[in-house]
Amino acid sequence: MSQADIRAVDNPISALFDLSEDVNREAPRFRKLVRYATAFIVIWLAVDFILILVTIRTSLLIGVLLAAIFVLGLATLGMLLGLNDFFRYYVMRHRVIMSVRNEDPVVKVPEGPTPAARLLVHLRSRNPELNYLYPSNYLPAPLAVRGRSGVLYHLDLHMARRSGLAWRSIGRGYPGFQLFVKVFDRPPRPEELLWLKNAAEDVSRAKHMPASRVIALWPRQGEQDLSEESYNLLMSQVVRSSHRGKHFATSLELIIENDDGTYEFIPYISDRF
Protein backbone atom coordinates (compact mmCIF):
# COMPACT_ATOMS: atom_id res chain seq x y z
CA MET A 1 0.00 0.00 0.00
CA SER A 2 1.34 3.44 -0.95
CA GLN A 3 2.65 5.51 1.98
CA ALA A 4 2.63 8.84 0.07
CA ASP A 5 0.80 11.89 1.36
CA ILE A 6 -2.84 11.13 0.63
CA ARG A 7 -3.60 14.84 0.16
CA ALA A 8 -1.19 15.24 -2.77
CA VAL A 9 -2.95 14.99 -6.16
CA ASP A 10 -1.48 15.83 -9.56
CA ASN A 11 -4.01 14.96 -12.27
CA PRO A 12 -7.39 13.83 -10.82
CA ILE A 13 -8.08 11.33 -13.62
CA SER A 14 -4.60 9.79 -13.38
CA ALA A 15 -4.89 9.75 -9.59
CA LEU A 16 -8.15 7.78 -9.85
CA PHE A 17 -6.51 5.17 -12.08
CA ASP A 18 -3.53 4.98 -9.73
CA LEU A 19 -5.85 4.49 -6.77
CA SER A 20 -7.69 1.78 -8.67
CA GLU A 21 -4.39 0.05 -9.42
CA ASP A 22 -3.41 0.16 -5.73
CA VAL A 23 -6.69 -1.45 -4.68
CA ASN A 24 -6.48 -4.04 -7.46
CA ARG A 25 -2.98 -5.09 -6.35
CA GLU A 26 -4.21 -5.62 -2.79
CA ALA A 27 -7.47 -7.34 -3.75
CA PRO A 28 -6.01 -10.90 -4.12
CA ARG A 29 -4.51 -10.74 -0.62
CA PHE A 30 -7.77 -9.60 0.92
CA ARG A 31 -9.73 -12.24 -1.00
CA LYS A 32 -7.38 -14.87 0.41
CA LEU A 33 -7.98 -13.56 3.94
CA VAL A 34 -11.73 -13.67 3.33
CA ARG A 35 -11.47 -17.30 2.17
CA TYR A 36 -9.47 -18.25 5.29
CA ALA A 37 -12.01 -16.53 7.52
CA THR A 38 -14.86 -18.24 5.66
CA ALA A 39 -13.26 -21.67 6.11
CA PHE A 40 -12.78 -20.97 9.83
CA ILE A 41 -16.42 -19.90 10.26
CA VAL A 42 -17.67 -22.99 8.41
CA ILE A 43 -15.59 -25.31 10.60
CA TRP A 44 -16.70 -23.51 13.74
CA LEU A 45 -20.37 -23.71 12.69
CA ALA A 46 -20.02 -27.47 12.25
CA VAL A 47 -18.40 -27.82 15.69
CA ASP A 48 -20.96 -25.51 17.26
CA PHE A 49 -23.83 -27.51 15.78
CA ILE A 50 -22.43 -30.71 17.27
CA LEU A 51 -22.01 -29.00 20.66
CA ILE A 52 -25.63 -27.83 20.52
CA LEU A 53 -26.84 -31.40 19.97
CA VAL A 54 -24.66 -32.68 22.82
CA THR A 55 -25.38 -30.00 25.44
CA ILE A 56 -29.04 -29.19 24.76
CA ARG A 57 -30.05 -32.38 26.63
CA THR A 58 -27.98 -31.59 29.75
CA SER A 59 -28.01 -27.77 29.95
CA LEU A 60 -30.71 -25.75 28.27
CA LEU A 61 -28.96 -22.43 28.99
CA ILE A 62 -25.67 -23.49 27.39
CA GLY A 63 -27.58 -24.92 24.45
CA VAL A 64 -29.41 -21.64 23.92
CA LEU A 65 -26.12 -19.68 24.09
CA LEU A 66 -24.51 -22.01 21.56
CA ALA A 67 -27.55 -21.65 19.32
CA ALA A 68 -27.25 -17.85 19.48
CA ILE A 69 -23.56 -18.12 18.55
CA PHE A 70 -24.55 -20.42 15.68
CA VAL A 71 -27.00 -17.82 14.32
CA LEU A 72 -24.35 -15.10 14.68
CA GLY A 73 -21.91 -17.32 12.79
CA LEU A 74 -24.39 -17.80 9.95
CA ALA A 75 -24.84 -14.04 9.67
CA THR A 76 -21.07 -13.54 9.66
CA LEU A 77 -20.68 -16.21 6.98
CA GLY A 78 -23.25 -14.44 4.82
CA MET A 79 -21.39 -11.13 5.13
CA LEU A 80 -18.07 -12.79 4.29
CA LEU A 81 -19.56 -14.35 1.16
CA GLY A 82 -20.93 -10.95 0.17
CA LEU A 83 -17.50 -9.39 0.71
CA ASN A 84 -15.89 -12.04 -1.47
CA ASP A 85 -18.46 -11.35 -4.22
CA PHE A 86 -17.63 -7.65 -3.97
CA PHE A 87 -13.90 -8.26 -4.43
CA ARG A 88 -14.56 -10.59 -7.38
CA TYR A 89 -16.81 -7.97 -8.99
CA TYR A 90 -14.28 -5.19 -8.38
CA VAL A 91 -11.37 -7.13 -9.90
CA MET A 92 -13.39 -8.03 -13.01
CA ARG A 93 -14.70 -4.47 -13.35
CA HIS A 94 -11.18 -3.10 -13.05
CA ARG A 95 -9.93 -5.43 -15.78
CA VAL A 96 -12.76 -4.33 -18.09
CA ILE A 97 -12.09 -0.61 -17.51
CA MET A 98 -8.37 -1.04 -18.10
CA SER A 99 -8.99 -3.02 -21.29
CA VAL A 100 -11.23 -0.22 -22.60
CA ARG A 101 -8.61 2.36 -21.62
CA ASN A 102 -5.96 0.49 -23.60
CA GLU A 103 -8.13 -0.05 -26.69
CA ASP A 104 -7.55 1.84 -29.93
CA PRO A 105 -10.12 4.69 -29.84
CA VAL A 106 -10.79 4.29 -33.59
CA VAL A 107 -12.34 0.95 -34.62
CA LYS A 108 -12.41 0.37 -38.39
CA VAL A 109 -15.29 -1.40 -40.11
CA PRO A 110 -13.97 -4.54 -41.88
CA GLU A 111 -14.86 -5.64 -45.39
CA GLY A 112 -18.11 -7.52 -45.96
CA PRO A 113 -21.21 -7.64 -48.17
CA THR A 114 -23.72 -6.64 -45.46
CA PRO A 115 -23.65 -4.74 -42.17
CA ALA A 116 -24.26 -7.97 -40.21
CA ALA A 117 -21.45 -9.78 -42.06
CA ARG A 118 -19.03 -6.91 -41.42
CA LEU A 119 -19.95 -6.82 -37.75
CA LEU A 120 -19.43 -10.57 -37.45
CA VAL A 121 -15.89 -10.21 -38.85
CA HIS A 122 -15.20 -7.52 -36.26
CA LEU A 123 -16.59 -9.60 -33.41
CA ARG A 124 -14.63 -12.68 -34.52
CA SER A 125 -11.39 -10.71 -34.34
CA ARG A 126 -12.05 -9.92 -30.68
CA ASN A 127 -13.90 -12.93 -29.31
CA PRO A 128 -12.51 -16.45 -30.00
CA GLU A 129 -15.82 -17.89 -28.77
CA LEU A 130 -17.40 -17.04 -32.12
CA ASN A 131 -14.83 -19.07 -34.05
CA TYR A 132 -16.22 -22.28 -32.56
CA LEU A 133 -19.72 -21.66 -33.87
CA TYR A 134 -19.50 -21.34 -37.65
CA PRO A 135 -16.82 -21.41 -40.38
CA SER A 136 -14.90 -18.18 -40.92
CA ASN A 137 -16.59 -17.70 -44.33
CA TYR A 138 -20.08 -17.92 -42.81
CA LEU A 139 -22.41 -15.21 -44.12
CA PRO A 140 -25.25 -14.39 -41.73
CA ALA A 141 -28.78 -14.21 -43.10
CA PRO A 142 -32.03 -13.06 -41.46
CA LEU A 143 -33.70 -15.79 -39.46
CA ALA A 144 -36.56 -16.35 -37.02
CA VAL A 145 -35.87 -17.59 -33.48
CA ARG A 146 -38.65 -18.84 -31.22
CA GLY A 147 -38.89 -17.66 -27.62
CA ARG A 148 -40.30 -19.32 -24.52
CA SER A 149 -43.63 -17.56 -25.15
CA GLY A 150 -43.89 -19.14 -28.59
CA VAL A 151 -43.33 -15.86 -30.44
CA LEU A 152 -41.02 -15.90 -33.47
CA TYR A 153 -38.45 -13.09 -33.44
CA HIS A 154 -36.89 -12.04 -36.75
CA LEU A 155 -33.18 -11.30 -36.27
CA ASP A 156 -30.32 -10.58 -38.64
CA LEU A 157 -27.92 -12.76 -36.66
CA HIS A 158 -28.32 -15.25 -33.85
CA MET A 159 -25.37 -17.46 -32.92
CA ALA A 160 -25.51 -19.88 -30.00
CA ARG A 161 -23.14 -22.41 -28.47
CA ARG A 162 -24.89 -24.96 -26.27
CA SER A 163 -24.27 -24.90 -22.54
CA GLY A 164 -22.62 -27.78 -20.70
CA LEU A 165 -24.50 -30.68 -19.09
CA ALA A 166 -23.66 -29.48 -15.57
CA TRP A 167 -25.13 -26.08 -16.36
CA ARG A 168 -28.34 -27.51 -17.74
CA SER A 169 -28.83 -29.83 -14.77
CA ILE A 170 -27.53 -27.93 -11.71
CA GLY A 171 -26.60 -24.46 -12.99
CA ARG A 172 -22.83 -24.94 -12.76
CA GLY A 173 -20.07 -24.91 -15.35
CA TYR A 174 -20.21 -23.49 -18.88
CA PRO A 175 -23.42 -21.44 -19.38
CA GLY A 176 -23.26 -21.37 -23.18
CA PHE A 177 -22.97 -18.44 -25.57
CA GLN A 178 -25.65 -16.42 -27.36
CA LEU A 179 -25.25 -13.48 -29.72
CA PHE A 180 -28.26 -11.45 -30.87
CA VAL A 181 -27.99 -8.86 -33.67
CA LYS A 182 -30.79 -6.80 -35.21
CA VAL A 183 -30.03 -4.34 -38.04
CA PHE A 184 -31.97 -1.06 -38.20
CA ASP A 185 -32.00 1.13 -41.32
CA ARG A 186 -32.72 4.25 -39.22
CA PRO A 187 -31.95 5.40 -35.68
CA PRO A 188 -33.63 2.77 -33.46
CA ARG A 189 -36.54 4.12 -31.44
CA PRO A 190 -36.97 3.25 -27.74
CA GLU A 191 -39.80 0.81 -28.47
CA GLU A 192 -37.63 -1.00 -31.03
CA LEU A 193 -34.77 -1.33 -28.54
CA LEU A 194 -37.22 -2.66 -25.94
CA TRP A 195 -38.46 -5.18 -28.52
CA LEU A 196 -34.90 -6.43 -28.97
CA LYS A 197 -34.42 -6.63 -25.20
CA ASN A 198 -37.65 -8.63 -24.76
CA ALA A 199 -36.73 -10.90 -27.68
CA ALA A 200 -33.34 -11.75 -26.16
CA GLU A 201 -34.90 -12.44 -22.75
CA ASP A 202 -37.65 -14.63 -24.23
CA VAL A 203 -35.22 -16.68 -26.35
CA SER A 204 -32.85 -17.02 -23.39
CA ARG A 205 -35.66 -18.49 -21.32
CA ALA A 206 -36.42 -20.95 -24.11
CA LYS A 207 -32.79 -22.07 -24.43
CA HIS A 208 -32.07 -22.00 -20.66
CA MET A 209 -28.90 -19.96 -21.06
CA PRO A 210 -28.10 -16.26 -20.77
CA ALA A 211 -27.61 -13.77 -23.58
CA SER A 212 -23.91 -12.95 -24.07
CA ARG A 213 -24.24 -9.97 -26.44
CA VAL A 214 -27.41 -8.16 -27.57
CA ILE A 215 -26.60 -5.71 -30.35
CA ALA A 216 -28.70 -3.23 -32.29
CA LEU A 217 -26.70 -2.46 -35.45
CA TRP A 218 -27.38 0.82 -37.23
CA PRO A 219 -25.60 1.84 -40.49
CA ARG A 220 -25.79 5.63 -40.14
CA GLN A 221 -26.49 7.68 -43.26
CA GLY A 222 -25.89 11.39 -43.55
CA GLU A 223 -26.85 13.53 -40.59
CA GLN A 224 -29.05 10.98 -38.84
CA ASP A 225 -28.73 11.01 -35.07
CA LEU A 226 -29.93 8.96 -32.12
CA SER A 227 -32.69 10.42 -29.96
CA GLU A 228 -32.02 11.27 -26.33
CA GLU A 229 -34.73 8.80 -25.23
CA SER A 230 -33.03 5.94 -27.08
CA TYR A 231 -29.62 6.91 -25.66
CA ASN A 232 -30.95 6.98 -22.10
CA LEU A 233 -32.60 3.60 -22.61
CA LEU A 234 -29.34 2.08 -23.87
CA MET A 235 -27.48 3.38 -20.82
CA SER A 236 -30.08 2.15 -18.33
CA GLN A 237 -31.65 -1.06 -19.64
CA VAL A 238 -30.11 -4.54 -19.37
CA VAL A 239 -31.17 -7.93 -20.67
CA ARG A 240 -31.89 -10.14 -17.65
CA SER A 241 -31.98 -13.93 -17.44
CA SER A 242 -31.87 -16.56 -14.72
CA HIS A 243 -31.29 -20.30 -14.48
CA ARG A 244 -31.09 -22.60 -11.44
CA GLY A 245 -30.76 -19.64 -9.08
CA LYS A 246 -28.11 -17.88 -11.19
CA HIS A 247 -28.93 -14.37 -12.39
CA PHE A 248 -27.32 -12.56 -15.33
CA ALA A 249 -27.50 -9.03 -16.71
CA THR A 250 -26.26 -8.15 -20.20
CA SER A 251 -26.12 -4.61 -21.53
CA LEU A 252 -28.29 -3.67 -24.49
CA GLU A 253 -25.75 -2.32 -26.99
CA LEU A 254 -25.98 -0.09 -30.06
CA ILE A 255 -23.20 -0.29 -32.65
CA ILE A 256 -23.23 2.47 -35.24
CA GLU A 257 -21.52 1.94 -38.60
CA ASN A 258 -20.50 5.43 -39.66
CA ASP A 259 -20.06 6.72 -43.22
CA ASP A 260 -16.33 7.24 -42.59
CA GLY A 261 -15.79 3.49 -42.09
CA THR A 262 -15.60 3.46 -38.29
CA TYR A 263 -17.71 1.93 -35.55
CA GLU A 264 -19.28 3.80 -32.67
CA PHE A 265 -20.43 1.95 -29.53
CA ILE A 266 -23.17 2.88 -27.04
CA PRO A 267 -22.19 1.62 -24.50
CA TYR A 268 -18.74 0.15 -25.20
CA ILE A 269 -18.61 -3.57 -24.39
CA SER A 270 -15.12 -5.04 -24.02
CA ASP A 271 -14.40 -8.62 -25.07
CA ARG A 272 -10.76 -8.47 -24.00
CA PHE A 273 -10.51 -9.15 -20.31
Same domain, 202 and 255: yes
Is residue 3 assigned to a domain? no
241 with 261, same domain? Answer: yes
Q: In terms of Cα–Cα distance, which of 139, 237, 150 is closest to 196?
A: 237
Both 87 and 207 in one domain: the answer is no
CA–CA distance, 217 with 262 (Å, rounded to integer): 13
How many domains is the chain built from? 2
Is the predicted pLDDT of residue 155 greater than 60, yes or no?
yes
Report the percent of the chain where pLDDT is more than 70: 87
Q: Report the 10 Å Cβ neighbour count for 61.
A: 8
CA–CA dist 133, 164 (Å, integer) = 15
How open is the CA angle 22-96-9, to the nearest 5 degrees? 35
- Range 109-120 average pLDDT: 92
Measured distance between the N- and C-terminal CA atoms of the chain, rounded to whole angstroms: 25
Residue 6 within a domain: no
The answer to whether residues 124 and 112 touch, using CB atoms and an 8 Å cutoff, is: no
Does residue 272 lie within any of the structural domains?
A: no
Q: Are residues 45 and 117 in the same domain?
A: no
Q: What is the mean pLDDT of residues 78-93?
A: 82
Per the structure, the complete domain to which residue 52 belongs is given by 12-102
User: Do 33 and 40 contact (CB within 8 A), yes or no?
Assistant: no
> How much is the pLDDT for 102?
67
C-alpha 74/C-alpha 80 separation (Å) is 10
Contacts of 153 (CB under 8 A, 6+ apart): 144, 145, 146, 147, 199, 202, 203
Do 128 and 256 have their domain in common? yes
Q: 2 falls in which pLDDT band (50, 70, 90)?
A: low
Burial class of residue 120, CB neighbours in 10 A (0-12, 13-18, 19+): buried
User: What mean pLDDT, rounded, does the chain reach?
Assistant: 85
User: In this structure, are strands 107-108 and 262-266 parallel, antiparallel, or unpaired?
Assistant: antiparallel
